Amino acid sequence: SAVISQKPSRDICQRGTSLTIQCQVDSQVTMMFWYRQQPGQSLTLIATANQGSEATYESGFVIDKFPISRPNLTFSTLTVSNMSPEDSSIYLCSADRENTGELFFGEGSRLTVL
Amino acid sequence: LAKTTQPISMDSYEGQEVNITCSHNNIATNDYITWYQQFPSQGPRFIIQGYKTKVTNEVASLFIPADRKSSTLSLPRVSLSDTAVYYCLQTGANNLFFGTGTRLTVIP
């Protein structure tokens, strides 16, 4: 199984600012994914990040608000731009190394926007 | 979007077998059925995956009937540490959507 590290683990931010979350995988993976999870809720897929191509966003999420980078096969970043209190959530990075549907997750980044 | 349906919550006493059933209304031919466990303040963790019939590993069994319209996760002799949210997913190419999950509470 892959080990996924996320930074920061938590942060408190001011409205209108932006925060970049980093995701590092301990091995090369083809597909990486970013999810959002509101307290007590299920996970919502934000986008799929493949190396060498633009991220694919799900309905309700746009690149201007959640720009994603995928510079290599072990790393990705998600930026939450122009934050508002509604963006307060846990953001989770995930990877599917063997395209099997078996996902490995980071511990999440808990974001609070004041 | 693929849609799975599962009970919102379940309670069980320690030592009992727990079965959580999920409905897979529009599962595709290439989709597998995958179950995850999530503890508070942690990312989900893979439990088991199957395509058809029965799969068993060291922590759980997964039963999938021939029509694949449902699946049942079976946890033998649960303990307090099994209290968590359990998610069933239909996983295939570009098919990685979590349903509501089942919150299992194990009671001493």
Domains and CATH numbers, chain B: 4-107 (2.60.40.10)
Residues of A in contact with B95 (CB under 8 A): 101
Length of chain A as a residue count: 114
What pLDDT score was predicted for residue B26? 82
Closest Cα in chain A, distance from residue B81 (Å): 18
Residues of A in contact with B98 (CB under 8 A): 35, 42-45
Q: Which of B97, B47, B42 is nearest to A108 (CA)?
A: B42
Residue B27 confidence (pLDDT) above 70: yes
pLDDT for the residue A97: 67
Residue B91 C-alpha, separation from nearest chain A C-alpha, in angstroms: 5
From the number of C-beta atoms within 10 Å of its C-beta (0-12, 13-18, 19+), residue A24 rates as: middle
Q: Is the pLDDT of residue B2 over 60?
A: no
Instruction: Give the model confidence (pLDDT) of A89-100 as tens digits.
Output: 999 999 986 766
Strand partners, A10: A110
Give me the phi and psi of A85, to 5 degrees please. Answer: -55, -25
- pLDDT of B94 > 70? The answer is no
Mean pLDDT of A7-22: 97
Determine whether the interchain pair B96/A103 forms a contact, defined as Cβ–Cβ distance below 8 Å: yes
Class of the CATH-defined domain A13-106: mainly beta
Q: Taking CB atoms and an 8 Å cutoff, what residues of chain A touch B87?
A: 42-43
- Give the integer Cα–Cα distance in Å for B14 and A44: 32
